Structure 1
Amino acid sequence: MLGDEQKVQAVLENLETAPIPEAERVLFRFLEKVNRESEHIHPEDVEAVKAAGWTEEAIYDAITVCALFNFYNRWADATGVREHPVEVYERSAERLSKGGYVPPPPGGEKKAP
């Protein structure tokens, strides 16, 4: 979905009709349950995600990202931190699309030899 704003919007509007693979739909349904009713997650919920082709590591990572965003959103709301201008998010998205969450080495990006 990276770089495809229409697909992201379609998922946000209606997961069930969005043009995504069924495996992603299964993962997003699971994450919705993690987000809204984590106390009701059972082994069969995780097994359904595995059956869709996701590894335990991928599921762990997805749960962790979901939990961290919940933490950050609640922290930001409670401390009064407000949204940045759109340009800040766009720069951040560009950086994340190239390097992920790993910070660049000291002194910036590596130079090719």
Structure 2
Amino acid sequence: MTPEEVKELIYEVAELTPGVGRLEESLKWGEQSFAPARRNIGSSVRIAPRQNGEVALMFICHTNLVEQFRTLYPDALTYEDNRAIVLEAGRQPDLEALSHCIGLALTYKLRKRGKSGPV
């Protein structure tokens, strides 16, 4: 997937995920970052293109998000430490798993407070 395709997927997931609402786009550490515009809804998802053609979806490392993704989808996606899902160049990722992980990030704070969001 290209960075633009990842961006489109993030917006699509946000639109389809109850509670997320409008996304706020910014630059963090030189990377495109997307987070719910309303406070206390979710965690940010950053897009980090790499020189070798990979694209990493970066998550805040002090959350347990990547650990949760690994538990749910141990073989469906490629992970990097507790920070990222790595999309390999020229290889189509499991879009259902990837979309679910993005939705989990965008509703992280809602779920942490026991409100709604994807499980």
Q: TM-score, normalised to structure 1's length?
A: 0.24
TM-score where L is the length of structure 2: 0.23
RCO (CA 8 Å, sep 6+): is it higher in 1 or 2? 2
**Structure with more strand by fraction:** 2
Determine which structure has more spread, i.e. the larger CA radius of gyration. Answer: 1
